[in-house]
Structures are given as C-alpha cells and as structure tokens.
Structure 1
Amino acid sequence: MSRLGTLGARLHRGEVGYDFITKRKIWYSVSILITITAFVGLVVRGLNLSIDFQGGAVFTTPKTSVSVSQAEHSAERASGKDAIVQKLGTGGLRIQVSGVDTAKSDQIKDQLSKDLNLKSDAINADLVGPSWGETIANKAWTGLGVFMVLVVIYLAIAFEWRMAVAALVALIHDITITTGVYALVGFEVSPGTIIGLLTILGYSLYDTVVVFDSLKESSKDILKQNRWTYSEIANRSINGTLVRSINTTVVALLPVAGLLFIGGGFLGAGMLNDISLSLFVGLAAGAYSSIFIATPLVTDLKEREQPLKALKRRVLAKRASAAAKGESLPESESAAESAADDDEPEDATPAVVGQRVQPTSRNRGRGRPSGKRR
C-alpha cells in the first residue's frame, strides 16, 4: 500500500488526525478575509463582461506577425473605444470592440485591414447583440436559484436542516470567491464563465455531502455514550474522508489546470480561460469549504442544542474524574465502540481477562476415576 493509502487508512481508523474543529475560528477568519477581498475587487474593479453581454463586434484575422499591442492600438483608434485583443493558437488575432453598430463595424474593419496589412475580405467580422447575453445570464440566475432551493430541500430531508444551511453557506462562499477572482485578475466573464460557475456547484457539494454522510453515521447514537463530544466526532469524520477529498480534487484539478495554463496561457487559446478559471478556482474553493467551513459550521449549530451541551459536560466531567484518579482514556477507540461500551448495563459482569478455566461437568467421569467408558 502506498504512503498516501496508509495515511488514509490511519486517518479513517482515528490513529492519526488533525484537529480541524477546534481551530475553526482561524478558518472562519481566513474565509471572511478572502470574501472581503473578493467583494472589494467586485466593487472597485468590477467584472470584465464580454461582448456577449454588452454587444459589439468581433474581428478575427488570419495568421499575422502584428503584435497584440499594435492591433489593440489600431482598433481603439478606429473605434474610439476600448478593445480587447487575444492571440489565437493559429497565429491570428481576435479583436473585440463593444458598443458598435454595423456601420461602425465596417469602418473598423477597413482601418484594421490597412494597419495590419491584410485584405479586408480576410478579416471576419461578427456583430453580437447584448440581448443574447442578457438572456443567458437571466436563465443562469434562474437555474442557480432553483438549484439552491433544491439542494436545501434535499439536504434537509436526507440529513437535517443544519447541514442544509451549512452547505448553502459553503456554496455561496465558493461562488463569491470565484467571481471575486475574476474581478481581481481581469478575465472576461462570458457565457462559458457562467457555465463553469454552475458546474463547480456540483463538485463543491460532492465533497460536503461525503463528509456529512460520514458525520451522520458516526453520530447516530451519540447521546448513548460519554466519551466523545459532537466536535470530536465531526473532526474524526473530516479526517476519515480527508484523503478521499484530496484525491478527487487533485484528479479534477489536473485537466482543468491543463486547460487554464497550457491551453489558455501557453497556447494562447484565450477563450478557454472563460470556463477553465472558474472551474479551477471553484474546485479548489469547494474542497476548502467542505472541510474548513461546512462541517465546522454544522458543529457550531449542533452544539447549541441542550442534549449535546449536556453530553459535552458529561464527557468533560468523566475525563476530569479519570484524570484525578490517574487513569487514562484510550484515544484510539472509535465512537461506535465507545457507544457500544456505554450501552452495557452498569451491573453487567466484567469481561474475563487472561486464560479462561472451563467448568468441570457434573456427570463427567462419575464413578470412573479415569473418566473412560467401559
């Protein structure tokens, strides 16, 4: 077995582990800081909406030796507006100018053909209306709202309402961070970006549900034992699924990183950045929120209940009593084993330790010293 597999098995058995729950205030602070940074980026810089949302013209050129800066300067001089130029993998250029009509588009095309030393027929010009992008955005927001409602209803039925609330907070956390990154780095927000945002919700929810399912099973009979608090069982659930979450996240991030850094960066296919950046940031944020946000938040909500508060007092009192007597409680036992031990009646006969002596049968060898049959 590999080292990672061995570590995963030891985490699952509770032999090793990291205390995520106790340090949840640190994770909350980090998340709040990142979220505030994302909001500042959205307010100060705003989103760089693509031409699909603003309307305008898109010019595509064949392979040319003209640099991106030269083409950008030429398009801005011809249109009088800001232009976005991307280098394509074929060696050509993709030039976007927002807010222009058909007549203005023809003027820009003629000017580009002169400045770039290309024939006018070689430059492909497409006009895009803003209504199409607005329709896509409105449908995306509608789909997002329906998805959120269905997720909350499902988790409330399958688990409980506290887990549904925690999962909803984690999803909002992931979307906010992803859109904030787009504002900070200045990448275009296109319909592909919206598709990426809707896609990451499923990945983010997957990791969260895996941890919640483990937590639900581990805490099924939690009130029947006096050795573990809800926080400790939640922490064991995170550690038990930690390696699985890391493996699934890394495997999902590798192809997305290829699209973002190789396809969009190295090969110059800038349109791949629209969807790959949202997937990359969203997957990483989803893995983070399922471990550091969703489960600690469930713990905070659950431990407000009176039965769990009483359980925590009993556990701490039992440990204090054991410490006063110089006894130590085994830390390697699972919560299920501890619950089974505490379910036994107090007057139960203690288990026999050491070699057992079988009782002698009453009729065995009666009247015959050797016990043999005649």
Structure 2
Amino acid sequence: MAGLSSLRTIGHRLYTGEVEYDFVGRKKKWYALSALILILAVGGLLGRGLSQGIEFKGGAVYTVNQGGISVAQAHEAIEEFRGEHEPIIQKVGKEQVRIQIASKDTGKFNEIRDALSAKLGVPADKVDAELVGPSWGKEISNKALQGLLIFMVLVTIYLAVAFEWRMAIAALVALVHDIVITIGVYALVGFEVTPGTVIGLLTILGYSLYDTVVVFDTVKETTRGITKQNKMTFSEAANRGLNQTLVRSINTSVVALLPVASLLFVGGGLLGAGMLKDIALSLFVGLAAGAFSSIFIATPLYADLKERTPEMRALAKRVEQHRAAQAKAAARGEAGDAAEASDAPADGDADDQDGDDGEPAGAGSAGSGGIRRQPARNRRAGRPSGKRKH
C-alpha cells in the first residue's frame, strides 16, 4: 500500500509540475539509444533473416493421433527427412504430436507419412497429413501489407486534421520504429514468422498509436496559447504535458504487458502452444517498443519540429531575454542585500555617536565608508537646525 501511495504522490507531483524530468531536453540521448536498437534490429534482419513458417514457405504438417508418443521419438523418426530446415515438433494435449516440415519438395509427402507410421508403431490411419502451399502465406503477406499501408494513410489524415501535420509525422516515425524493432527481434531470436505473427504485428499498431495520441492530446492542451507568454518555451511546455501523462502511460503499458507476458512465457514456453507464442512475442515486443516510442521518440520529435517554426523561434528568443532580465534583477537584488548587510554598525561602533541627538556618526553623508544615505526628511527631522529657542 505504501508503494501505491508513493506512486500516486509522484503522479500528482508530475501532473502539477512540482517534479519534472526533462525528456524533451535530453532528446539526443533517446535518439542515440533508439538508433542503436534499430541498428541491432536491422542487422539481425539483414544478417540472419526471418525464419518463415510453412505457411510462407510451403511444406507438410503431420499429426500423430495416439498417446504415448514423445517429442524425442518423433524427432528420431523424422530425422532422415529433415532437409535444410529444422522440423517443428510439438506436443498437443496428451494424445497428439504435431510435426511440421517446411519444404517446397512435396514428392516425399506419402513416404514421410509411411515412415512415421512404421517408426512410431502407429497405424497409418492415425497419422493425419496436410500439405500447405506457399501461395497461401504469400497472399496473407500481401493482404497484411495492404492493410498496413491503408492504416498509415488513414492515421496520417486523422492526426493532421485532429492535431497537425507535425504530430502526424512524429506518430508515423514512432509507428515505423515499433514495427522495425518487432520484426528485428523476431530475426534475432529466431522465432518463426507465422500468420499469428502477422496478426500480432497488426494488433500492436493500434496500441502504439493510442499511447502516442494520449500524450499528444495532453501536449496540445499544455501548449495552447504558448506564444502569448514569455516564461516558457514550446519544448518546456511539451515536456510538462509529457510528464503529466507519464504515470498513466507506464500504468497502461504494465497492465497490457502482464497478460501478454503470461501468454508468452506460460502459454508459449511451458505449455508449448505454438500459435500463442507467435502472437505473444510480437505483442510483447511491440507493446514495450510502443511505450518507449510514445515517451522518448514521438513527443521530443514533435517538439523538435515545432521549434523550427518562426513563431517558436521568436518565443524562445523572448523567453531567453526575459530570463536574462530576471537574472540581472536578481543580481541587483543580491547586491542590494549585500549593501544593506554592510550598512549595519559593528559592535564596537555603538559608542561612536553624536552627543547631541544620538545619531550614528556620518549617517547623513554618503562617505566612502559605505554607509547608506538617509532620506532628506529624516536628516531634517533628526538633526538640530543650529538655532536655539529662548
């Protein structure tokens, strides 16, 4: 409970501006970190490449419908037919073993089924075989690409109308950033790209954009009428808006990542559910990349584009001049305080007084001793005029 209370306190202080982290001001660090991640992702994609499933390369799927068959036994039975691609063998429930062989050569289709039946000691009618052509996976890829392009066009139009074109550019850059990282992670870890991967990839587009739009909406509110003042630059106002939504973005991302992590590590890892693993990895990486890009990429990039406009350049100059004037005023105030402190009489000067009216010696002059000059009316009121009444 103490941790939740502390988190709420931090969130409130971020929202009110009491505490602020300069995300926008440190944009070069985030750009460098993002560039490093993208280089690794693209390097994995160009180096190792994507491991495509049989839906994209073509091949055969054999399902042994009999209990007591282990994955190790299935590996041994299929070893001589493995070819250049490692067969995928999964235990499905207690009564089935599924074997996937990716190959464009389907001439040995019946031979492989007979060999499995003989080596595993299973009747031939207990081994279901299915051929998968590569044309189906290619059609899925084309449809997914078309959907992605249409989605980006519609998103660009919406953001340009609801916000402005600079926000649309920043959001699209963040979106491409998330897609490239997700695909690169698939290449680096060697997970197979299946239709489940495509589904997960298309799903993360909406989430990544949602988080970015939420931040942009707050930034739009904090920067409204920004040119009518001279105390804060556009980047500083945008950074304040980002800080106000920071805790919300983190909470949303954590809540979304927890069930996806369960799918990935429990469903895909422990239970061996292949389709769950394919979807969960793309969702997990995409959600994490989307949370990163909405905070560290989209808003700093938007502020950077906005600061290039003539209005914001003029605002930045006015803010700089205002702060310089404040600094000079503060310096004069400190000098005045120091002068007042030096005007105070020392302990040994208490006896050095004029015998007539008790005024400190030299109080009416602006001598080199640094004593502050009294106002004229005080001098007239405090000092005898020299004429004595009789």
Bin the TM-score by the shorter chain. Answer: 0.7 to 0.9
Aligned to 1:33, the other structure's residue is in SS state helix
In the TM superposition, what is the alpha-carbon distance from 1:39 to its structure 2 partner?
0.7
Match of 1:291 in 2: 295
Alignment equivalent of 1:245, drawn from 249, 255, 261? 249
CA contact (8 A) 1:78 1:107 kept: no
In the TM superposition, what is the alpha-carbon distance from 1:73 to its structure 2 partner?
4.6
CA contact (8 A) 1:84 1:97 kept: yes
Say whether residues 1:27 and 2:37 are aligned partners: no
CA contact (8 A) 1:86 1:270 kept: no
**How many equivalent residue pairs?**
328
CA contact (8 A) 1:253 1:280 kept: yes
For residues 139-218 of structure 1, what are the structure 2 equivalents within 5 Å? 139-218=143-222
For residues 260-339 of structure 1, what are the structure 2 equivalents within 5 Å? 260-326=264-330
Q: Which amino acid is 2:149 matched to?
A: G
State TM-score, norm by structure 1.
0.83
In the TM superposition, what is the alpha-carbon distance from 1:94 to its structure 2 partner?
2.0
Match of 1:371 in 2: none
State TM-score, norm by structure 2.
0.80
Distance, in Å, in 2 between the alignment partners of 1:293 and 1:33 is 13
Distance, in Å, in 2 between the alignment partners of 1:106 and 1:79 is 15
Q: Which amino acid is 1:5 matched to?
A: R
Alignment equivalent of 1:118, drawn from 116, 119, 122? 122
Match of 2:60 in 1: 57
In the TM superposition, what is the alpha-carbon distance from 1:125 to its structure 2 partner?
1.2
String of CA shifts for 1:20-57, please: whole Å, max 9, x gaps: 01111010001111111111111111111111111110
In the TM superposition, what is the alpha-carbon distance from 1:326 to its structure 2 partner?
1.5
In the TM superposition, what is the alpha-carbon distance from 1:307 to its structure 2 partner?
1.4
Alignment equivalent of 1:258, drawn from 246, 255, 262? 262
In the TM superposition, what is the alpha-carbon distance from 1:93 to its structure 2 partner?
2.7
Say whether residues 1:14 and 2:44 are aligned partners: no
In the TM superposition, what is the alpha-carbon distance from 1:118 to its structure 2 partner?
2.6
Q: Which amino acid is 1:249 matched to?
A: S
C-alpha spacing 1:149/1:327, structure 2 compared with 1 (3 Å):
farther
In the TM superposition, what is the alpha-carbon distance from 1:71 to its structure 2 partner?
2.8
In the TM superposition, what is the alpha-carbon distance from 1:274 to its structure 2 partner?
1.1
Q: How large is the Cα RMSD of the aligned pairs?
A: 1.9
Match of 1:2 in 2: 5
Say whether residues 1:36 and 2:47 are aligned partners: no
Q: Which amino acid is 1:137 matched to?
A: S
CA contact (8 A) 2:71 2:91 kept: no
In the TM superposition, what is the alpha-carbon distance from 1:230 to its structure 2 partner?
0.7
Match of 1:363 in 2: none
In the TM superposition, what is the alpha-carbon distance from 1:109 to its structure 2 partner?
1.2
In the TM superposition, what is the alpha-carbon distance from 1:78 to its structure 2 partner?
2.8
Higher mean displacement: 315-324 or 214-223: 315-324
C-alpha spacing 1:268/1:9, structure 2 compared with 1 (3 Å):
same
- What's the % identity of the aligned pairs? 60
In the TM superposition, what is the alpha-carbon distance from 1:66 to its structure 2 partner?
5.3
Which of structures 1 and 2 has the larger relative contact order (alpha carbons within 8 angstroms, sep 6+)?
Answer: 1
C-alpha spacing 1:265/1:79, structure 2 compared with 1 (3 Å):
closer
Aligned to 1:2, the other structure's residue is in SS state helix
C-alpha spacing 1:34/1:139, structure 2 compared with 1 (3 Å):
same
String of CA shifts for 1:85-131, please: whole Å, max 9, x gaps: 23334144321112256551111111122333333222221111111
Q: Which amino acid is 2:63 matched to?
A: T
CA contact (8 A) 1:81 1:97 kept: no
Q: Which amino acid is 1:83 matched to?
A: E
Distance, in Å, in 1 between the alignment partners of 2:19 and 2:269 is 40
Alignment equivalent of 2:139, drawn from 135, 146, 167? 135
CA contact (8 A) 2:175 2:290 kept: yes
Distance, in Å, in 2 between the alignment partners of 1:236 and 1:63 is 62
String of CA shifts for 1:227-272, please: whole Å, max 9, x gaps: 1111111111111001111111111111111110000001111221
Distance, in Å, in 2 between the alignment partners of 1:185 and 1:83 is 15
Aligned to 1:300, the other structure's residue is in SS state helix
CA contact (8 A) 1:204 1:290 kept: yes
Larger gyration radius, structure 1 or structure 2? 2
C-alpha spacing 1:102/1:151, structure 2 compared with 1 (3 Å):
same
Q: Give the gaps of 5 or more residues in structure 2.
A: 333-390
CA contact (8 A) 1:74 1:112 kept: yes
CA contact (8 A) 1:53 1:131 kept: yes
Distance, in Å, in 2 between the alignment partners of 1:112 and 1:262 is 30
Aligned to 2:11, the other structure's residue is in SS state helix
Aligned to 1:22, the other structure's residue is in SS state coil
